[in-house]
């Protein structure tokens, strides 16, 4: 059996104990060049322009002096990414109407869009987010256009946006497209809204004052215009005609009663 005294480990340990255990720390001196250095950092920034996918943000860049003073501040636009999953967007389109949709927002398209690649897949005739049901769809661009839209174009289109340098997916969005016949349904819901519902809808859009003024003008035109007088004349004429008919029936009944009594 090998003893510890004959082991090389014991020799290493003994050498380690003979090493000096005192470590000296010299005083750190900052060069004069660094003391007068000015750094440029972001002191303020906005939130990302989109909630998912590639967007941009504005950063305020300032030079910071050793005394903490800000100077020469400028605004810089930079890329940002909050989340890459964007969910499902649903559209209803009439047959024969032109229609298009895009993977990227208008801001992202104009800012470094050439650095992105696009992969499209289609679940034809279905509105779904189940990736098993999708098949490759040939479209190299970020935009899909229908001109005109056909019934066979209905389905869910999935777009993956990738960085060309790293092939990393930075956005996935689904477009559910439902195609209907022109005479199937009237999509103009404004026609069936009541006056109160129109006011509520316009209030959400910030047009309450204009819509209220228009409705008041319509009511004033009704009460002050010819339509009111025509309705009033019609009502009066109806009442007079009813009274005359009642009187005629009354006298006719009297005459018939007298003749019957003579007989």
Residue range(s) of every CATH 2.60.40.10 domain in the chain: 85-180
3 preceded by a cis bond (ω within 30 of 0): no
pLDDT truncated to tens, each residue of the chain (263 aa)?
444 445 555 454 444 444 444 445 466 666 666 667 778 888 899 998 888 888 889 999 998 888 788 888 999 988 888 899 999 999 999 999 999 999 887 665 544 556 889 999 999 999 999 999 999 999 988 999 999 999 999 999 999 999 888 889 999 999 999 999 876 655 565 666 677 777 776 765 555 445 555 655 655 555 555 555 565 566 656 667 666 767 777 777 777 677 666 66
pTM of the model as a whole:
0.53
What is the model's pLDDT at position 19?
A: 47
Q: Give domain 85-180's CATH number out of 2.60.40.10, 3.40.50.620, 1.10.645.10, 3.90.920.10.
A: 2.60.40.10
What is the model's pLDDT at position 8?
A: 53
What is the model's pLDDT at position 33?
A: 67
What is the model's pLDDT at position 17?
A: 45
Report the alpha-carbon distance of residue 176 to residue 157 in Å, rounded: 6
What is the model's pLDDT at position 148?
A: 92
Report the alpha-carbon distance of residue 244 to residue 238 in Å, rounded: 10
């Amino acid at each position: 059996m090998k003893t510890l005294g004959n082991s090389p480990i014991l020799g290493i340990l003994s050498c380690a104990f003979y090493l000096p255990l005192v470590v000296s720390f010299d005083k750190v001196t900052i060069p004069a060049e660094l003391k007068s250095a000015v750094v440029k950092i972001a002191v303020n920034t906005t939130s990302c322009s989109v909630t998912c996918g590639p967007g941009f943000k504005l950063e305020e860049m300032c030079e910071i002096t050793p005394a903490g003073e800000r100077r020469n501040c400028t605004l810089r636009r930079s890329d940002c990414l909050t989340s890459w999953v964007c969910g499902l967007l649903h559209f209803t389109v009439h047959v024969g109407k032109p229609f298009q949709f895009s993977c990227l927002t208008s801001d992202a398209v104009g800012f470094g869009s050439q650095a992105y690649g696009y992969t499209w897949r289609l679940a034809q005739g279905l509105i779904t987010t189940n990736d098993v049901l999708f098949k490759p769809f040939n479209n190299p661009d970020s935009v899909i256009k229908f001109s005109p839209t056909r019934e066979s174009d209905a389905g869910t289109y999935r777009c993956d946006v990738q960085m060309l340098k790293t092939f990393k997916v930075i956005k996935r969005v689904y477009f559910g497209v439902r195609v209907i016949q022109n005479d199937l349904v009237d999509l103009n819901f404004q026609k069936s809204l009541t006056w109160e519902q129109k006011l509520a809808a316009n209030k959400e859009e910030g047009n309450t004052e204009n819509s209220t003024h228009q409705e008041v003008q319509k009511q004033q035109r009704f009460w002050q215009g010819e339509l009111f007088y025509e309705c009033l004349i019609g009502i009066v004429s109806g009442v007079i005609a009813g009274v005359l008919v009642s009187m005629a029936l009354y006298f006719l009944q009297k005459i018939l009663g007298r003749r019957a009594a003579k007989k």
